[in-house]
Amino acid sequence: GESVGLHLPTLSVQEGDNSIINCAYSNSASDYFIWYKQESGKGPQFIIDIRSNMDKRQGQRVTVLLNKTVKHLSLQIAATQPGDSAVYFCAENRNSNSGYALNFGKGTSLLVTP
Protein backbone atom coordinates (compact mmCIF):
# COMPACT_ATOMS: atom_id res chain seq x y z
CA GLY A 1 0.00 0.00 0.00
CA GLU A 2 0.92 3.63 -0.15
CA SER A 3 3.19 4.92 2.62
CA VAL A 4 1.95 7.78 4.72
CA GLY A 5 4.24 10.75 4.93
CA LEU A 6 4.95 12.77 8.00
CA HIS A 7 2.59 15.58 8.85
CA LEU A 8 4.51 18.79 8.47
CA PRO A 9 4.34 21.47 11.13
CA THR A 10 2.01 24.16 9.83
CA LEU A 11 2.13 27.88 10.38
CA SER A 12 -1.03 29.76 9.49
CA VAL A 13 -0.84 33.54 9.15
CA GLN A 14 -3.05 36.26 7.82
CA GLU A 15 -2.10 38.15 4.72
CA GLY A 16 -0.04 41.18 5.63
CA ASP A 17 1.26 39.75 8.90
CA ASN A 18 4.87 38.81 9.48
CA SER A 19 5.85 35.13 9.53
CA ILE A 20 8.64 33.49 11.47
CA ILE A 21 9.75 29.98 10.61
CA ASN A 22 12.26 28.25 12.86
CA CYS A 23 14.83 25.55 12.31
CA ALA A 24 17.29 23.76 14.57
CA TYR A 25 20.48 22.20 13.30
CA SER A 26 22.74 19.70 15.00
CA ASN A 27 26.18 20.06 13.42
CA SER A 28 28.09 22.81 15.21
CA ALA A 29 30.70 22.70 12.42
CA SER A 30 28.18 23.74 9.75
CA ASP A 31 29.34 26.94 8.10
CA TYR A 32 26.65 27.65 5.53
CA PHE A 33 22.87 27.63 5.70
CA ILE A 34 20.12 28.15 3.15
CA TRP A 35 16.38 28.61 3.27
CA TYR A 36 14.32 27.09 0.47
CA LYS A 37 10.70 27.50 -0.56
CA GLN A 38 8.99 24.52 -2.15
CA GLU A 39 5.61 24.70 -3.81
CA SER A 40 3.63 21.55 -4.40
CA GLY A 41 5.17 19.33 -7.07
CA LYS A 42 8.08 21.69 -7.70
CA GLY A 43 11.75 21.76 -6.86
CA PRO A 44 13.11 23.73 -3.91
CA GLN A 45 13.63 27.40 -4.72
CA PHE A 46 16.44 29.37 -3.11
CA ILE A 47 15.29 32.19 -0.82
CA ILE A 48 18.27 33.39 1.18
CA ASP A 49 21.51 32.07 2.62
CA ILE A 50 23.84 32.93 5.48
CA ARG A 51 27.35 31.96 6.45
CA SER A 52 28.35 31.09 9.97
CA ASN A 53 30.40 34.27 10.39
CA MET A 54 27.17 36.28 10.24
CA ASP A 55 24.21 36.58 12.61
CA LYS A 56 21.74 38.20 10.29
CA ARG A 57 21.17 38.69 6.61
CA GLN A 58 18.38 40.56 4.87
CA GLY A 59 16.83 40.16 1.47
CA GLN A 60 13.71 41.47 -0.13
CA ARG A 61 10.98 40.96 2.52
CA VAL A 62 13.01 38.15 4.11
CA THR A 63 15.52 38.06 6.95
CA VAL A 64 17.50 35.10 8.19
CA LEU A 65 18.82 35.01 11.74
CA LEU A 66 21.50 32.60 12.89
CA ASN A 67 22.14 31.81 16.55
CA LYS A 68 25.19 29.57 16.66
CA THR A 69 25.10 29.27 20.43
CA VAL A 70 21.86 27.32 20.39
CA LYS A 71 22.22 26.10 16.80
CA HIS A 72 19.05 27.80 15.65
CA LEU A 73 18.08 29.41 12.39
CA SER A 74 14.98 31.44 11.62
CA LEU A 75 13.38 32.91 8.53
CA GLN A 76 11.30 36.02 8.86
CA ILE A 77 8.96 37.00 6.05
CA ALA A 78 7.57 40.51 6.20
CA ALA A 79 4.07 41.38 5.00
CA THR A 80 3.26 37.79 4.09
CA GLN A 81 1.37 37.34 0.84
CA PRO A 82 -0.80 34.47 -0.46
CA GLY A 83 1.99 33.62 -2.91
CA ASP A 84 4.22 32.85 0.07
CA SER A 85 2.12 29.78 0.88
CA ALA A 86 4.48 26.82 0.48
CA VAL A 87 6.69 24.46 2.45
CA TYR A 88 9.87 26.04 3.77
CA PHE A 89 13.06 24.09 4.45
CA CYS A 90 16.30 25.09 6.06
CA ALA A 91 19.42 23.29 4.85
CA GLU A 92 23.04 23.15 5.91
CA ASN A 93 26.13 22.40 3.92
CA ARG A 94 27.18 18.77 4.48
CA ASN A 95 30.84 19.16 3.82
CA SER A 96 32.47 22.39 2.81
CA ASN A 97 35.28 20.44 1.13
CA SER A 98 33.07 18.81 -1.46
CA GLY A 99 30.72 21.47 -2.69
CA TYR A 100 27.20 22.32 -1.68
CA ALA A 101 25.57 18.97 -1.03
CA LEU A 102 22.96 19.78 1.58
CA ASN A 103 21.32 18.26 4.63
CA PHE A 104 17.75 19.50 4.77
CA GLY A 105 15.78 20.05 7.95
CA LYS A 106 12.16 19.15 8.43
CA GLY A 107 9.91 21.45 6.48
CA THR A 108 7.31 23.85 7.77
CA SER A 109 4.14 24.41 5.80
CA LEU A 110 3.18 28.10 5.63
CA LEU A 111 -0.46 28.85 4.92
CA VAL A 112 -1.39 32.45 4.23
CA THR A 113 -5.07 33.27 4.60
CA PRO A 114 -6.70 36.36 3.11
Partner 1 sequence: AAGVIQSPRHLIKEKRETATLKCYPIPRHDTVYWYQQGPGQDPQFLISFYEKMQSDKGSIPDRFSAQQFSDYHSELNMSSLELGDSALYFCASSLALGQGVFGPGTRLTVL
Q: List residues binding partner 1 (CB under 8 A).
A: 2-8, 34, 41-46, 49, 89, 94-95, 98-107
One DSSP character per residue, the chain reads: -PPPPPPPPEEEEETTS-EEEEEE---TT--EEEEEEE-TTS--EEEEEEETT-SEEE-SSEEEEEETTTTEEEEEESS--GGG-EEEEEEEES-GGG---EEE---EEEEEE-
Closest approach of partner 1 to the CB of residue 47, in Å: 12
Cβ closer to partner 1: 83 or 99?
99
Rounded to a whole number of angstroms, the minimum distance from the CB of residue 16 to partner 1 is 29
Q: How far is the CB of 95 from partner 1 (least distance, A)?
A: 6
